[in-house]
A and B are shown apart, each in its own frame.
Chain A
Amino acid sequence: MDRDSGPDGAFIDVDRVEKVFDVRRKTGFLRRERRRVRAVDGISFRVARGEMVGCIGPNGAGKSTTIKMLTGILTPSAGRLRVAGIDPARERGRLAQRIGVVFGQRTTLWWDLPLIDSYRLMHRMYRIPDARYRANLDRCVDLLDLSGLLDVPVRQLSLGQRMRGDIAAALLHDPDVLYLDEPTIGLDVISKARVREFLRTLNADRGTTVLLTTHDLQDIEQLCSRVVVIDHGRLMYDGSLAGLHEAGGSERVLVVDLERELPPIDVPPARVVRVEGPRQWLAFPADRSAAPLVARIAERCPLVDLSVREPDIEAVIARMYAQGVADRTERALS
């Protein structure tokens, strides 16, 4: 175990962290109403060194607030945070040397100046030894395909180019942890693929711990072995992407084409959800195998063709968000 990790090997350790904002709202000509907003409401999770974790949740769920607390620019209202053994809010300067941050909707690059000028500034700001700076810059330029862009003013870059430029800027000082807040937002398919490929390589070659928030589930499917779902400041799920189906109670659908129109087939636990002429749709729990079901149907009915549709992860998550709202309503009513 390395010395920066916590007692149980956690490189990032979030322990019952809360963030409460006081929001003042205008209610009259001079009257203000103070309201407390719990943006993060007791979240705990741990990330081991070298892990790649995706964080999803609807807008306003508390993802960015969590990331901001992990960079030290926001102080938690309660709970304990450690990144590489450092308390972020207390030792922001020391932590800065260990982390790289990319906010998809913001840029760290100097808007009016050529890209290379921003990198020279990073060189000075992080006090990167010359040889290492050059090696890292060369590697980023190569992998992120920036060679033709170094002398272009940042304001003239496309969104995809700027994003790649920002990712390179976050990595010149060899951070152990990379936070990415919506790194693929607004990018086209090719740019997204390129960014994902780079992150995969970075994680595999350098063992950089990556924590990314996103709305794009493909980011998670293609990059992260683990996913954390946050909604209304609470942790809804923490585990593998596959496990999300179980947690969300998702179903697979077996579509059977019969020789002729028949009444709905009765094969529990599957239930017929739709009938259209000789075609029937049967939903069954995602963790069950389709094989015994098919055998039982084939015994009773003249089967022509069949297919299995896997559950849609977007639907699972949408259901999870909706479930969260229902739970809260129930709690409020009782």
Chain B
Amino acid sequence: MWQAALCTHYASALGSTVLGGRDVGALRLYAAVAAGGFRRYATYRVATAAGVFTNTVFGVILVHTYLALWDARPHLGGYDQAQAVTYVWVGQALLATLAIGGGGVERDLMERIRTGDVAVDLYRPADLQAWWLAADLGRALFQMVGRGLVPLLFGALFFPVALPADPVTWAAFAGTVLSAMVVSFALRYLVALSVFWLLDGMGVAQVAHLVGYFCSGMLLPLNVFPGLLGEVVRLLPWSALLQNPADVLLGHADPLDTYVFQGAWAAALLALGRLLQRAATRRVVVQGG
């Protein structure tokens, strides 16, 4: 709970110094929405504990698979064994945080569009996309603290990992994770909006999750993908999710270049989301009654 309070406090302090009065109001609203998103997910403690357990077990399995692979092919993708193991645990820490396999706020939004409850969101004096982005950032923050930290610590304690000692690298890593959260939301927002046209988003969501798993590097790091496939996959927005933060943490990528790459995708996808949102609300047939 204190993390959310701190986040809210920090955001409003930032707001009052940097921005004008109107923007402070908006910032305080979205900070409150983010705090709500944090607490909404914090309510389900058993689900969180089960998630921590799953991520840890899955991490152990994946580590042994990777170790076998790196035994056969040392320095695959430019990683040594310790780096490959670290990559696994970073992945397990970010899986729920970035909702790569689904489970972010887009689930709620899809349901609201399907049932027509989105009508309630539309007449309020708040921006739909900003509202859900804030709620998802709150959720991601909770998932990172509640679900991500334990597997990462477990990995660091019981396996040979290559974590940096330099706090600057950690700060850069935190920055890429935050950017990854925005890119991840922007992708899932597009999936959610498809419900306006399809009425049932399950199919799109499942395809998006599979693509997300594969293209974010959750199965295998993207830098082990050969030839053209590797080139293409590394340019797609999903590489901003796991590959980018992991590479920054492992000292494999320049933080500034990474921010530019992530920022460009975030801006493009959020803009596309706005475009779709406008089209959807213009032709909207709010379901039911």
Contact = CB atoms under 8 A, between A and B. Distances in A.
A108 interface: yes
Interface residues of B, number: 26
A97 B120 contact: no
Nearest to B123: A71
A105 B119 CA distance: 11
B123 A117 contact: no
B29 A101 contact: no
B61 to A, nearest CB: 32
Contact of A103 (B32, B33, B119, B124): B119
Nearest to A109: B120
Given A73-B286, A124-B28, A107 B40 contact: no
B272 to A, nearest CB: 22
B175 interface: no
Given A73-B119, A73-B123, A21 B285 contact: yes
Given A106-B119, A125-B124, A74 B43 contact: no
A55 B281 CA distance: 26
Most buried by B among A68, A73, A108, A181: A73
Given A74-B286, A96-B125, A105-B289, A124 B120 contact: no
A124 B284 contact: no
A73 B39 CA distance: 29
Contacts of B29: 121, 124-125
A73 B284 contact: yes
Contacts of A120: 32
Contacts of B25: 124, 127
Nearest to B285: A21
B123 A110 contact: no
Contacts of B36: 110, 113, 117, 121
Nearest to B281: A73
Given A64-B289, A110-B36, A125 B125 contact: yes
Contact of B123 (A64, A101, A124, A182): A101
Interface string B112-151: 0001110110111110000000000000000000000000
A75 interface: yes
B45 interface: no
B289 A96 contact: no
A68 B285 CA distance: 11
B219 to A, nearest CB: 32
Nearest to A64: B289
Contacts of A103: 119-120
Chain A contact-residue range equals: 20 to 34
A254 B117 CA distance: 49
A64 B152 CA distance: 51
A113 B120 CA distance: 17
Contacts of B122: 73, 92
A153 B117 contact: no
**Which of B29, B39, B119, B123 counts the most A-chain CB atoms under 10 A from its CB?**
B123
Contacts of A105: 288-289
Given A64-B289, A73-B286, A110 B40 contact: yes
Interface in B239-289: 281-282, 284-286, 288-289
Contacts of B116: 106
A126 interface: yes
B40 A113 contact: yes
A310 interface: no
A246 interface: no
Given A73-B286, A74-B284, A121-B33, A93 B125 contact: yes
Contacts of B284: 73-74
A137 to B, nearest CB: 15
Nearest to B126: A125
Interface string B162-175: 00000000000000
Interface in B34-48: 36, 39-40, 43
B124 to A, nearest CB: 6
Interface in A16-55: 21
A64 B116 CA distance: 12
A76 interface: no
Nearest to A126: B125
Contact of B32 (A21, A93, A124): A124
A112 interface: yes
10 closest residue pairs by CB, A with B: A96-B125, A124-B29, A71-B123, A73-B122, A112-B40, A124-B32, A64-B289, A106-B117, A108-B120, A127-B25
12 contacts: A68-B119, A68-B286, A71-B123, A73-B281, A74-B286, A75-B282, A93-B125, A103-B120, A105-B288, A105-B289, A106-B119, A107-B120
Given A101-B120, A106-B116, A126-B125, 5 more contacts: A72-B123, A73-B122, A73-B286, A113-B43, A117-B39
